Amino acid sequence: MDSKIALLKEEFSAELKKAENTADLEAIRVKYLGKKGSVTDLLKEMRDLSVEEKKAFGQKVNELKAEVADAIAARTTELKELEVLKEIESMPEFDVSMPANITEGSYHPVTLVQRQCEQIFKTMGFNVEDYSEIVTDYECFEALNIPKHHPARDMQDTYYLTNGQLLKTHTSAAQNAIYKKYRDALINDNVPIKAIFPGRCFRNEATDACHENTFFQMEGVMVDKDISISNLIYFMKTMLSEVFQKDLKVRLRPGFFPFVEPGFELDISCLICGGEGCPSCKHSGWLELCPCGMIHPEVLKAGGIDPEEYSGFAFGLGLTRLVMMKYGIKDIRDLNSGSLKVLSQFTDDE
């Protein structure tokens, strides 16, 4: 019996050496370890042995089985590596000097309009501020006169992080930080606070042609002594007329936001029908573009500014919406599509 095992071992290692590829190895595996394989056959021969002999022989056969399996596995790895190397060698050489076939990129339409607005506001003396996309509950709601459980929160459900922070639902979330940053200059040196802060906002939204869960706004605030609604109307009208390169009609309607008092919706005359009424303006002749209002005394207080002495206005321009109007984009989802076919149509025409 022992000699049989020794013979099989010899035969096996000879065949293993000859194997040239993984297919050969598979054939060897079947020949030795398969159901009708030579090693398996050895076990069948045990029938005629005594109990003692069976035990000793069985152990040896099992050892042989393991040896054969290990040897095949090791050789398989070796051969696979060789096969990969061969394939690499047979590949045509890569020419690093070949010119790349790259489609030239263009600015995203939101970036174009944002830069344009920034430029216009800069010439009117506004600072441009950047702000994070992840904010605290305090910044996004509490500091804006929206306490916990206030119904206004319902319209601004968002994505919450496990640490309690959230993705900002509106650019107003930066207001508190801006007031704190500039209040010393306001109070000590009589420098009015004039800032705009564009940013990406997020809301838990069922998406369709007019709704997206990720969109852009551009907030603006101005705080000084004796700021009134006239100042608000003047700045908004000037900015929008510059963006659209024509003198637009604007109107204010009452609107509710807990952080302004009084609050408004600013509409512009419909650019598509010129105010006659069409499907784009729901036949009203007006397009809702910019919620705004006079900053609520509680919000000024939270920013460390005395509302008895100072007043201000705030607006939250829907930058994404403005882009859609300016370029006549009908589906908001195109803007986040990353599709070059759509986006490369817009170039910097400044």
Considering only the stretches 145-153, 192-200, 286-294, 304-312, report the one whose residues sit in contact with ligand PHE under the rule CB under 6 A: 286-294
Q: How far apart are CA 349 and CA 225, in angstroms?
A: 39
The one-letter amino acid at 244: F
- When CB distances to ligand PHE are compared, the closest residue is 316
CB of 235 to ligand PHE, least distance (A): 13
Considering only the stretches 39-47, 87-95, 285-293, 299-307, report the one whose residues sit in contact with ligand PHE under the rule CB under 6 A: 285-293
Burial of 226 (0-12, 13-18, 19+ CB in 10 A): exposed
Mind giving me the DSSP string for 154-174? GGG--PBPTTS-EE-SSGGGG
Torsion of CA 243, 248, 252, 257, to 10 degrees: -10
Site for ligand PHE in 159-188 (CB under 6 A): 170, 172
The torsion angles phi and psi of 168, rounded to 5 degrees, stand at -65, 140
Helix (H, G, I), strand (E, B) or coil at 208: strand
Q: Does 315 bind ligand PHE (CB under 6 A)?
A: yes
Identity of the residue, 170 or 183, whose beta carbon is nearer to ligand PHE in the bound complex: 170
Q: Does 199 bind ligand PHE (CB under 6 A)?
A: no
Extract the tokens encoding 33: 């370890």
Q: Hey, CA dihedral for 306, 117, 242, 247, is it positive or negative?
A: negative
Of 337, 344, 289, 251, residue with least CA distance to 117: 289
Mind giving me the DSSP string for 25-79? HHHHHHHHHSTTSHHHHHHHGGGGS-HHHHHHHHHHHHHHHHHHHHHHHHHHHHH
Interface residue with ligand PHE, options 109, 198, 293, 312 (CB under 6 A): 293
Q: Does 296 bind ligand PHE (CB under 6 A)?
A: no
Site string for ligand PHE, 236-275 (x = CB under 6 A): ---------------------x--x--x------------
Q: Does 291 bind ligand PHE (CB under 6 A)?
A: yes
Considering only the stretches 97-105, 180-188, 281-289, 313-321, report the one whose residues sit in contact with ligand PHE under the rule CB under 6 A: 313-321
Identity of the residue, 164 or 254, whose beta carbon is nearer to ligand PHE in the bound complex: 254
CB of 317 to ligand PHE, least distance (A): 8
Considering only the stretches 126-134, 272-280, 309-317, 333-341, report the one whose residues sit in contact with ligand PHE under the rule CB under 6 A: 309-317
Residues touching ligand PHE: how many (CB under 6 A)?
A: 12
The H or E element spanning position 214 is strand 214-224
Considering only the stretches 69-77, 116-124, 276-284, 288-296, report the one whose residues sit in contact with ligand PHE under the rule CB under 6 A: 288-296
Question: First CA to last CA across the chain, in angstroms?
Answer: 93
- Cα of 188 vs its chain's centroid, Å: 41
CB of 156 to ligand PHE, least distance (A): 7
Instruction: Report yes or no: 221 and 193 within 8 Å, Cβ to Cβ.
Output: yes
CB of 203 to ligand PHE, least distance (A): 9
Site for ligand PHE in 204-223 (CB under 6 A): 219
Q: Does 312 bind ligand PHE (CB under 6 A)?
A: no
Interface residue with ligand PHE, options 68, 194, 316, 335 (CB under 6 A): 316
Q: Does 303 bind ligand PHE (CB under 6 A)?
A: no
Identity of the residue, 254 or 328, whose beta carbon is nearer to ligand PHE in the bound complex: 254
Identity of the residue, 227 or 260, whose beta carbon is nearer to ligand PHE in the bound complex: 260
Q: What is the 3-state secondary structure (H, E, C) of 68-91?
A: HHHHHHHHHHHHHHHHHHHHHHHC
Interface residue list for ligand PHE (CB under 6 A): 170, 172, 219, 257, 260, 263, 291-293, 314-316
